[in-house]
Amino acid sequence: MDELNLVQAVNRALARAMADDPRVVVLGEDVGRDGGVFRATDGLFARFGEDRVIDTPLAELAIAGVAVGMAAQGLRPVAEIQFTGFIYPTIDQLVNHASRLRTRTRGRLACPMVLRSPSGGGIHAPEHHSESPEAMLAHIPGLRVVIPSSPRRAYGLLLAAISDPDPVVFLEPTRLYRAVREPVADDGEALPLDRCFVLREGRDLTFVTWGAMVLETMAAAERLAGRGVEATVIDLATLHPLDHETIVESVRGTGRCVIVHEAPLSGGWGAEVAARLAEHALTALLAPVVRVAGYDTVMPLPRLEAHYMPGVERVLAAAERVLEFA
């Protein structure tokens, strides 16, 4: 069991999937000889060759379209989009083909493809490199949206995504690529999709978060514990389909909920979580649901990036607001 960071765990999962299943192929810009802009595919070209690790032109629409075709013909492509700011040309293929292929063909064809992309801010990248478009992608019926928040979860969830019979968008928090290390067993064991992970249990309030914001949320929960306030922290991991049962069960016990995400507030996936709580746990709430999120503006790179992104103090302030209610 090696100590890996998140990008190394992604690399290890790709290598394991390719070794175990000859149908798995990797494609994208600079994924071959260069090993990817973040080194997520480092070493795969030398190990598996140019037929299975394919360098593509700078054409995201074509990358997604080729992946759909490969999947329809029995392969299991894993396509990389270098940054989520470049993911928008793929929407045509995701909406009109990948997500509809099973229903369009009445089950005759499926689309077992994964679209990977670094996501989110915090690395002082230039414009178009720091978006968090998960809510837009999660609104596409027939598409899974998965965001890991640790090396171990990145490994297990990526294996699950590759083996899934339907299309998955796998967003990797760029800020977490090299932020933490933990032991990861390269055992080929997948983690379940469509389920939240409860990272800590508490009786006083429930934090719901995902991606890079798990770090700030866990830090806030630790600070609260020092004051005698015990918080549950739930990592969504799979945003769509949403495991709202786990969230509802927790909030029914704590009566309070703070949702933390990096994307802009309006129309963010936190609004969907809050709506589910209003529908299924309204009478259990002791305080309004509070969202901590990015601001409704393009991320102000580079100087105001840190101000834009929610930090521990903003999370704590939201927790204090919901705890004020008796």
User: Backbone dihedral region of 269: left (phi > 0), alpha (psi from -120 to 50 degrees) or beta?
Assistant: alpha
The answer to whether 129 is a known catalytic residue is yes
Of the candidates 129, 240, 244, 261, the residue annotated as catalytic is: 129
Does residue 98 contact residue 272 with C-beta atoms inside 8 Å? no
CA distance 127 to 124: 9
Contacts of 187-191 with CB under 8 Å at 24 or more apart are 188/16, 188/20, 188/159, 189/156, 189/159, 190/156, 190/157, 190/159, 190/160, 190/163, 191/153, 191/156, 191/157, 191/159, 191/160, 191/237
CA distance 4 to 10: 10
Residues recognised as catalytic = 129
